[in-house]
Amino acid sequence: MKDNKVDEEQVEVVGEIEKFPAGKSESATLTLPAGRYVVICNVATHYGLGMHTVLQVQ
């Protein structure tokens, strides 16, 4: 963590959606090889508040 966010220099980012307003939604289509990924919200404090989950691609 750095400045209440995940330090993106320390992880491999494989996709991203730009910040968007609360109450709205966005989507992305990614082609990922099989594996385990972590989906996070990297708005300051959001990751620490639990806005993350594991995504298993088979």
Beta-strand relationship, 52-57 and 35-40: antiparallel
Question: Global pTM?
Answer: 0.81
Task: List pLDDT tens digits, range 20-51.
Answer: 999 999 999 999 999 999 999 999 999 999 99
| 9 phi/psi in degrees, rounded to 5 | -75, -15
For 4, left (φ over 0), alpha (ψ -120 to 50), or beta?
left
Q: How confident is the model at residue 1, as a pLDDT?
A: 84
Instruction: Please report, as a single letter, which amino acid is at residue 37.
Output: Y
Give CA 39 to chain center in angstroms: 4
